Chains A and B, each alone.
Chain A
Amino acid sequence: MRRLILLAAVLAAMAGPVRAVTPDEQLPDPKLEARARSLSRDLRCVVCQNQSIDESDAALAHDLRIILRERLLAGDTDDQAVAYLVQRYGNFVRLKPPFQADTLALWLGPLAVLLAGGAGAAIYMRGRSGPPAPLDAAEEAELAALINTDEAH
């Protein structure tokens, strides 16, 4: 068992961050390459949808990485390079969706749920607070009657 744990630890230590970028894709200019890498981490691979194109081994992800680097080499800003892909594949390629009319529910939904929950909790807490009002004379009499019937059994 101990050996197994040791083996697992060694393997875990050896496993670096998984990257699909191959050396032939990389740009000679380290600054541009760094920009390309950071942009591609936020771009979705449309084939294997929950991976970024930085992580994906899909052929299309490879093509998109190349295109992204071509745009940067051509002098595009980060926004322009991303816009180039968004034009073709829609906002879905952005792993971080932009804040706009059709994503309001996405961005503000959790906040709305939190507020609704908070309001519900506040109402509940307020309902609970304060000691109950003391019994009036009629209620006292009723209570006494109930207790007495119970004792009679």
Chain B
Amino acid sequence: MKRLLAFAPAAIFVLVLVGFAVGLRRDPTLLPSMMIGKPVPAFNLPPVRPSDALSGRGGLATDQLSGEPVMLNVFASWCVACRVEHPMLMRLKEQGVTIHGLDWKDEPADGAGWLAERGDPYARVGNDRTGRAGIDLGVSGVPETFVIDRKGRVRYRHVGAISVEDWNRKLEPLLARLRAES
């Protein structure tokens, strides 16, 4: 018993070490999403693009987010990290990935200006001026990207700009898996 007790401090040290090794590597800004597995909350957002307003195509509504697995990208013209992410979204669009846009806490004119100036990676894009649709999704900042399955359920939430690595490791395999789901 005594001999075992002599090892106790070392054992506690190892435990603490493991605790720190796990705890300190986690990014505290990554919060678990409450939306995983749940249907996208109901919203019907007005258009951002003037052309969508003129043609009557409209902005973005919840029922347009089911059918095929898609990505829903939350962005804003005032968001700095979105500038970093934007070229990646353009490349994904070229690859044929369907991305819908949610222009969060932004004036429609500013969102439209952003798209006209930098290019428009979105299939549909809606303006969420008050930010309520984003808050219903549990958005804590921009950019954030949600992966939505055929049934219109949120399956994954990506916080921050999408990097090539994020796409290759996480988002692309997930979309492929969701496409294979019936």
Question: Is B truly associated with A?
Answer: yes
Q: Which residues of A contact B (CB under 8 A)?
A: 46-47, 49, 59-60, 63-64, 67, 86-90, 92, 120
Q: What's the nearest-Cβ distance from chain A to residue B152, in Å?
A: 18
Q: What's the nearest-Cβ distance from chain B to residue A49, in Å?
A: 7
Distance, CA A64 to CA B29, complexed state (A): 18
Q: Given A59-B105, A60-B140, A60-B141, are A46 and B31 neighbors across the interface (CB < 8 Å)?
A: yes
Distance, CA A137 to CA B50, complexed state (A): 106
| Residue of chain B at shortest CB distance from A124 | B5
Number of A-B contacts (CB under 8 A): 39
Distance, CA A61 to CA B136, complexed state (A): 14
**Residues 79-100 (chain B) with a chain A CB within 8 angstroms:** none
Pairwise interchain contact A67-B34, C-beta atoms closer than 8 A:
no
| Residue of chain B at shortest CB distance from A63 | B131
Pairwise interchain contact B140-A46, C-beta atoms closer than 8 A:
yes
Instruction: Name 5 interchain pairs, CB-CB below 8 A, sorted by A.
Output: A59-B105, A63-B130, A67-B132, A86-B34, A89-B31
Residues of B within 8 A of A47 (CB): 140-141
Among A49, A63, A89, contact of B34 (Cβ-Cβ < 8 Å): A89
Whether B138 is near chain A, meaning CB under 8 Å from some CB there, is: yes
| Residue of chain B at shortest CB distance from A60 | B140
Pairwise interchain contact B140-A89, C-beta atoms closer than 8 A:
yes
Q: What's the nearest-Cβ distance from chain A to residue B115, in Å?
A: 22
Among B31, B131, B137, contact of A92 (Cβ-Cβ < 8 Å): B31
Q: Given A49-B29, A63-B131, are A87 and B34 neighbors across the interface (CB < 8 Å)?
A: yes
Pairwise interchain contact A88-B136, C-beta atoms closer than 8 A:
yes
Residues of A within 8 A of B8 (CB): 120
Pairwise interchain contact A64-B135, C-beta atoms closer than 8 A:
yes
Interface centre among B8, B135, B137 (most CB of A within 10 A): B135
Q: Given A47-B140, A64-B135, are A88 and B28 neighbors across the interface (CB < 8 Å)?
A: no
**Range of interface residues on B (Cβ < 8 Å):** 10 to 19
Distance, CA A7 to CA B138, complexed state (A): 45
Distance, CA A84 to CA B28, complexed state (A): 23
Pairwise interchain contact A49-B28, C-beta atoms closer than 8 A:
yes
Residues of A within 8 A of B56 (CB): none
The proximity string for B residues 98-115 relative to A, scoring 1 for CB distances below 8 Å and 0 otherwise, is: 000000010000000000
Pairwise interchain contact B32-A92, C-beta atoms closer than 8 A:
yes
Residues of B within 8 A of A67 (CB): 132, 135
Q: Given A59-B105, A60-B140, A60-B141, are A90 and B31 neighbors across the interface (CB < 8 Å)?
A: yes
Residues of A within 8 A of B137 (CB): 88
Residues of B within 8 A of A59 (CB): 105, 131
Q: What's the nearest-Cβ distance from chain B to residue A87, in Å?
A: 6
Q: What's the nearest-Cβ distance from chain B to residue A50, in Å?
A: 10
